[in-house]
Amino acid sequence: MTSATTTAYQLCNSCAVAVAYGDMTALNTESTAQVLAFMADHGYLTQADDIDPPGYWLCECCGIDQLGAGRTFTHD
């Protein structure tokens, strides 16, 4: 029997919009290149869930520390 594993990525709301819709207008210009590289490296991702981790957490797309809500994305 084969086990399927799903990798989940925690993204801030600005990166979530960029990944889901290709809309880069909410991004800081300093992080645009990193977001584009993340999108190229990870391919098509699907939004999985809204998250609100306690305390600070790191957006896996732009690499900026976050406080508050975000979104989880996975591969199909």
Is residue 4 assigned to a domain?
no
Cβ–Cβ under 8 Å, residues 48 and 67? no
Give how many domains the chain has, as a whole number: 1
Is residue 48 assigned to a domain?
yes
What pLDDT, in 10s, does the model give residues 48-64?
A: 999 999 999 999 999 99
Q: What is the pLDDT of residue 2?
A: 55
Is residue 8 assigned to a domain?
no
Q: What is the pTM of this model?
A: 0.86
What pLDDT, in 10s, does the model give residues 23-39?
A: 998 888 888 999 999 99
Residue 26: give the domain boundaries.
13-74
Distances (CA, A) of 74 to 25, 37, 43, 48, 59: 23, 17, 10, 6, 14
Task: Give the pLDDT band of residue 5 (cuts 50, 70, 90).
Answer: confident
Is residue 3 assigned to a domain?
no
